[in-house]
Chains A and B, each alone.
Chain A
């Protein structure tokens, strides 16, 4: 079958401990092999940085909320419009592009795997429909459980095994990948217009606290032996002084998986705020980074903010309402019965706005102050902190103190008094950037076992070849070359096929959807549980029989089966 040989590639592959070796990579049938004879295609990658395909472990690209962002924002579609050309379909949009827009732009940056950060199981079918039109990447979806009534009831009853059974049923039914908690308990409170402020607040209608939800979910998650850990969006996002809530949460996280982290804490920039109001708002990234450094069982992503227009969207409905009251721009909200909430508002992050400038600095501080790049992932929580097309700029900022200082000069004058950034000398290395943009994601998501994130025999041939000559590039000085080089690959290869060449995509992406199916004992099989079925049909507005997403929605379908301990 099809074979490909990439010659003279300058490879950085942190999972294989390869740090800048010139080597050949052979591909057969979409997998990396030892070597190939008479390859069908040969690519000479001489002088080009070659990395495993990029993985975004927290982005919002598909599903109800993202699409509502498009639906409500014709003004966003005025940018980024392209017509159908060759194999590429028409695209539109900047912060909430069309599915093809997302897919092509990620592909030109060398990204081959995307994790949609928040999927309400009740609307999972929609996410999977959009995945089908995101052809250049493999897709996975984190599944929301923060306000799931059956789950909250099981926690209240102290029955963690039942909780695990409930997670198992929903994950399989929604064809989801990981357990996502967004403002746990807060989205349920938002059902009557309320919120919780931190992990010890009681949750209305259930006699439990967010902390109990988080801890019990982590235990249940591990009972199911899922590839990924619980993926948490902490309580109290975006509020001055919320870093205490984040620290308290981290202190309560048990370390119960020896293969990977027990908690993935997402967009931590938004949770590292000091001060008692917007007037004395300041960075607490140092405190957060110290806590993370002390806790090897926690992995974070940064949730970097970059300046300009974007659209914020999250399952955290009450948070978006607060943001709306601050910005007075348009506001959408979408509560999902028995499960979760969501909200959307457009924002503009401005350099001359002190709060925005501090937010920008916090993201960078986290990336620079967390010692271990394997536990600090680069992400903007696309499009919340910024559209993902800003990633190359973020990489350049982390690799160059000079670039950071230059940018810092253009910010609100008081920023320096509220942040630690100017004093941080660290400049990330090529290897560290490679870790923070693919290898760490592969490990945190448990995808290494599925052949992702590395480039040795047996791996999926997902490869990004950048027009960057590492030997002749000093990232501390040549940050423009970093930005340009990471913006457009020379080749993006997906499962052994060139899918994007210098920014032009072909439609042979052959995308697949990864989802988990935990096998539980009959006692915890909710599809046979009378109380579950009865409650379901009584309180949901659709029948349980019509709820699960069929495999016909998945295209190429990678079912990750696990044996649960219940």
Chain B
């Protein structure tokens, strides 16, 4: 039995780095400090043993070499290939993906587009007053969770960084910090809040506008009720925000997926900007995948844009809504696709899944996923955080090296993508 401490959990954007793993005979047998989800990830089974290829509707086992050749052929044949996923792998692999896309002339998008893509669009309009999570832990006396449900999606967020985390200026966090939850339904997180604000679906923008107007001294014009929230409660919340010494607003896909999308987030950002004229206030998107933020970082320094980058014409073009995976698939614009470390068949609208089914589709993933069933080729790889290592970025932009707990015979994402990339260079004579 071997015990490894300070391991990093590759599940959500919290990137908890205090995990203890127990390893016996080359297998992880138990975890400590993990949440339920992280524990399940570390103890995951059912890895695909070798590359598989669908021939006449039947899966056949093939070698890695055949798999690489097939992938190269499928992608080089296309007029508008789409390379999607990336948030479930490490940064080094993402870099290879960008280089590959340069010579393919394809579109490279990451799962941001169905997560916090709208938050990025908003940030591109008005910026982002943020901070690292430790800053919140040590200083914040007011926490707002807006349209997010950390208890179910980021289970250790509240204990590591907010509600239950003692910090330098708060030695009894639970008593000294106020927590406000804003949501359309009373979630598990809402149940532990000091204040729950229930908004009607689609009402976030109006509520944020009202709060901003109150901050500007225009409370006289606010009606008695805005999108299900009473004026009394709005006044009270505005006051709590103005008088705290450090407020931190966390928001989730409740804002990005609702009506108005990024304009909701823009309004939240400007609300926080306004609050900084009164006190200290920051805002942080609750990023979902463990390295989705890393995908944004890598693509920003490599291409100039954080997601949805179209290289069809050689130079990078960016226009979410046009160059995002959902739109490209729904409009049937692409004619081949590679999915890396993501499972769109589980998460995309059915119409998009149908298009994925109808075009050549390569999947790079350790497990048999839903997307496997509609793919033409799958190449299994090592799992970053278990038998592969690499860099990831936490939801607040902190880069962390995700370590491996053991060796295996599986190639890492970086290794397999580099093989595919090198083969492409060879075929294209570059």
Direct contact between A and B judged by beta carbons closer than 8 A? yes
Given known contacts A330-B126, A331-B129, A542-B17, is B318 in contact with A74 (CB within 8 Å)?
Answer: yes
Asked if residues B304 and A77 are in contact (CB atoms below 8 Å), the reply is: yes
Asked if residues A543 and B17 are in contact (CB atoms below 8 Å), the reply is: yes
Taking CB atoms, residues of chain B closer than 8 Å to A84 are 102-103, 314
CB < 8 Å: which of A123, A192, A333 contacts B246? A192
- Residue among B5, B120, B393, B397 facing the most chain A CB atoms (10 A cut-off): B397
Decide if B63 is an interface residue (CB 8 Å cutoff). Answer: no
Taking CB atoms, residues of chain A closer than 8 Å to B5 are 545
Instruction: Enumerate B33-49 residues with CB–CB distance to A below 8 Å.
Output: none
Given known contacts A72-B124, A74-B305, A133-B301, is B282 in contact with A123 (CB within 8 Å)?
Answer: no
CB < 8 Å: which of A82, A126, A149, A324 contacts B315? A82
Contact segment of A88-96, A245-253, A276-284: A88-96
Asked if residues A337 and B305 are in contact (CB atoms below 8 Å), the reply is: no
CB < 8 Å: which of B8, B296, B398, B399 contacts A541? B398
Asked if residues B315 and A90 are in contact (CB atoms below 8 Å), the reply is: yes
Asked if residues A77 and B276 are in contact (CB atoms below 8 Å), the reply is: no
Task: Tell me the bound Cα distance from A539 to B137 in angstroms.
Answer: 8
Instruction: Enumerate A63-81 residues with CB–CB distance to B below 8 Å.
Output: 64, 67-68, 70-77, 81
Given known contacts A71-B120, A129-B399, A345-B127, is B301 in contact with A337 (CB within 8 Å)?
Answer: no
Asked if residues B126 and A337 are in contact (CB atoms below 8 Å), the reply is: no
- 1/0 contact trace for A300-329 toward B, CB 8 Å? 000000000000000000000100110000
Taking CB atoms, residues of chain B closer than 8 Å to A338 are 134, 138
Task: Tell me the bound Cα distance from A46 to B316 in angstroms.
Answer: 40
Taking CB atoms, residues of chain A closer than 8 Å to B276 are 193, 321
- 1/0 contact trace for B118-135 toward A, CB 8 Å? 001001111111111111
Decide if A125 is an interface residue (CB 8 Å cutoff). Answer: yes
Contact segment of B143-151, B160-168, B194-202, B362-370: B160-168
CB < 8 Å: which of A130, A325, A542 contacts B301? A130
Taking CB atoms, residues of chain B closer than 8 Å to A450 are none
Decide if A38 is an interface residue (CB 8 Å cutoff). Answer: no
Taking CB atoms, residues of chain B closer than 8 Å to A540 are 134
Asked if residues B132 and A336 are in contact (CB atoms below 8 Å), the reply is: yes
Asked if residues A545 and B304 are in contact (CB atoms below 8 Å), the reply is: no
Please give the number of chain B residues whose Cβ is less than 8 angstroms from any Cβ of chain A in the complex.
61
- 1/0 contact trace for A123-165 toward B, CB 8 Å? 1011001100100000000000000010000000000000000
Instruction: Enumerate A167-195 residues with CB–CB distance to B below 8 Å.
Output: 190-193
Given known contacts A98-B304, A193-B276, is B124 in contact with A74 (CB within 8 Å)?
Answer: yes
Taking CB atoms, residues of chain A closer than 8 Å to B380 are none
Taking CB atoms, residues of chain A closer than 8 Å to B132 are 122, 334-337, 541
Decide if B6 is an interface residue (CB 8 Å cutoff). Answer: yes
- 1/0 contact trace for B388-430 toward A, CB 8 Å? 0001010001111100000000000000000000000000000
- 1/0 contact trace for B274-290 toward A, CB 8 Å? 00110110100000000
Asked if residues B134 and A333 are in contact (CB atoms below 8 Å), the reply is: no
Task: Tell me the bound Cα distance from A93 to B315 in angstroms.
Answer: 11
Task: Tell me the bound Cα distance from A337 to B398 in angstroms.
Answer: 11
Taking CB atoms, residues of chain A closer than 8 Å to B279 are 193
Decide if A386 is an interface residue (CB 8 Å cutoff). Answer: no
CB < 8 Å: which of B129, B137, B400 contacts A332? B129
Task: Tell me the bound Cα distance from A333 to B138 in angstroms.
Answer: 18
Decide if B227 is an interface residue (CB 8 Å cutoff). Answer: no
CB < 8 Å: which of A77, A82, A332 contacts B130? A332
- 1/0 contact trace for B295-329 toward A, CB 8 Å? 01100111111100001011110100000000000
Decide if A467 is an interface residue (CB 8 Å cutoff). Answer: no
Asked if residues B398 and A92 are in contact (CB atoms below 8 Å), the reply is: no
Asked if residues A70 and B300 are in contact (CB atoms below 8 Å), the reply is: yes
Asked if residues A333 and B128 are in contact (CB atoms below 8 Å), the reply is: yes
Given known contacts A89-B102, A545-B6, A546-B401, is B316 in contact with A77 (CB within 8 Å)?
Answer: yes
Decide if A358 is an interface residue (CB 8 Å cutoff). Answer: no
Taking CB atoms, residues of chain A closer than 8 Å to B280 are 190-193
Asked if residues B131 and A546 are in contact (CB atoms below 8 Å), the reply is: no
Task: Tell me the bound Cα distance from A357 to B18 in angstroms.
Answer: 53
Decide if A394 is an interface residue (CB 8 Å cutoff). Answer: no
Q: Is the interface of A mostly helix, strand, loop or mixed?
A: mixed
Given known contacts A81-B316, A545-B5, is B135 in contact with A191 (CB within 8 Å)?
Answer: yes
Q: In chain B, what residue has the closest Cβ to A549?
A: B401
Asked if residues B134 and A330 are in contact (CB atoms below 8 Å), the reply is: no
Q: In chain B, what residue has the closest Cβ to A344?
A: B127
Asked if residues A332 and B6 are in contact (CB atoms below 8 Å), the reply is: no
Decide if A274 is an interface residue (CB 8 Å cutoff). Answer: no
CB distance from B315 to the nearest CB of A (A): 4
CB distance from A95 to the nearest CB of B (A): 12
Task: Tell me the bound Cα distance from A101 to B301 in angstroms.
Answer: 9
CB distance from B121 to the nearest CB of A (A): 9
Decide if A52 is an interface residue (CB 8 Å cutoff). Answer: no
Decide if A83 is an interface residue (CB 8 Å cutoff). Answer: yes
Asked if residues A72 and B123 are in contact (CB atoms below 8 Å), the reply is: yes
Asked if residues B398 and A123 are in contact (CB atoms below 8 Å), the reply is: yes
Asked if residues A331 and B300 are in contact (CB atoms below 8 Å), the reply is: no
Decide if A518 is an interface residue (CB 8 Å cutoff). Answer: no
Given known contacts A84-B314, A330-B127, is B304 in contact with A93 (CB within 8 Å)?
Answer: yes
Decide if B343 is an interface residue (CB 8 Å cutoff). Answer: no
Given known contacts A337-B135, A337-B137, is B91 in contact with A71 (CB within 8 Å)?
Answer: no
CB distance from A173 to the nearest CB of B (A): 13
Q: In chain B, what residue has the closest Cβ to A130?
A: B301
Given known contacts A74-B305, A90-B311, is B137 in contact with A192 (CB within 8 Å)?
Answer: no
Asked if residues B103 and A71 are in contact (CB atoms below 8 Å), the reply is: no
Taking CB atoms, residues of chain A closer than 8 Å to B398 are 122-123, 541-542
Taking CB atoms, residues of chain A closer than 8 Å to B138 are 337-338, 539
Asked if residues B315 and A546 are in contact (CB atoms below 8 Å), the reply is: no
Taking CB atoms, residues of chain B closer than 8 Å to A126 are 297, 393, 397, 399
Given known contacts A192-B245, A192-B246, A337-B131, is B301 in contact with A99 (CB within 8 Å)?
Answer: yes
Taking CB atoms, residues of chain A closer than 8 Å to B137 are 337, 539, 541
Q: In chain B, what residue has the closest Cβ to A194?
A: B280
Asked if residues A64 and B397 are in contact (CB atoms below 8 Å), the reply is: yes
Q: In chain A, what residue has the closest Cβ to B275?
A: A193
- Residue among A90, A100, A123, A130 facing the most chain B CB atoms (10 A cut-off): A90
Task: Tell me the bound Cα distance from A73 to B131 in angstroms.
Answer: 19
Taking CB atoms, residues of chain B closer than 8 Å to A190 are 280
CB distance from A378 to the nearest CB of B (A): 26
CB distance from B15 to the nearest CB of A (A): 8
Asked if residues A336 and B135 are in contact (CB atoms below 8 Å), the reply is: yes
Binding site for B on A (CB under 8 A): 62, 64, 67-68, 70-77, 81-84, 89-93, 97-101, 122-123, 125-126, 129-130, 133, 149, 190-193, 321, 324-325, 330-338, 344-345, 539-543, 545-546, 550
Nearest first, the 6 closest Cβ-Cβ pairs linking A and B are A83-B314, A337-B134, A92-B304, A193-B280, A541-B134, A330-B127
A-B contact pairs, 24 of them (CB 8 A): A67-B297, A71-B306, A77-B304, A84-B103, A90-B303, A91-B304, A92-B316, A98-B301, A100-B302, A101-B304, A123-B398, A125-B399, A192-B246, A193-B279, A321-B276, A324-B273, A332-B130, A333-B130, A334-B132, A337-B138, A539-B167, A542-B400, A546-B8, A546-B401
Known: A334-B397, A546-B400. 5 other contacts (CB 8 A): A84-B102, A332-B127, A539-B134, A541-B398, A542-B398
